[in-house]
Amino acid sequence: AQSVTQLGSHVSVSEGALVLLRCNYSSSVPPYLFWYVQYPNQGLQLLLKYTTGATLVKGINGFEAEFKKSETSFHLTKPSAHMSDAAEYFCAVSPDTGRRALTFGSGTRLQVQP
């Protein structure tokens, strides 16, 4: 079985500040990990994914995440927040890249203050 825990249902940062969204996972097999972003009234858009290889993954819009097996974590970061980053972010885990269903965390809503 797999599960994801996202710490903090709401995170607020100032524009230009560091963004850190936390994700911890549980998996009995090597995990594939994903971050998706959801803007209001829209579907989910893939930010980045970890499959194998390099543990630091770079995604779109300046986001990156680091897979830390010892900490079972996959935290999402961005050095400088922009107003357009305000959205809900979901971490997900799967036993495969796209051939199995994803298990999602409960989401973190990011607010960016001017």
Partner 1 sequence: DAGVIQSPRHEVTEMGQEVTLRCKPISGHDYLFWYRQTMMRGLELLIYFNNNVPIDDSGMPEDRFSAKMPNASFSTLKIQPSEPRDSAVYFCASSSGQAPFFGPGTRLTVL
Tokens of residue 19, six digits: 């963004």
Interactions with partner 1, residue window 4-33 (CB under 8 A): none
DSSP states of 56-106:
EEE-GGG-EEEEEGGGTEEEEEESS--GGG-EEEEEEEESSSSSS--EE--
Total residues contacting partner 1 by CB under 8 A comes to: 19
Of the residues 81, 102, 110, 112, which one makes contact with partner 1 according to CB under 8 A: 102
Interactions with partner 1, residue window 50-89 (CB under 8 A): none
Residues in contact with partner 1 by the rule CB under 8 A: 34, 36, 42-46, 49, 90, 97-99, 101-107
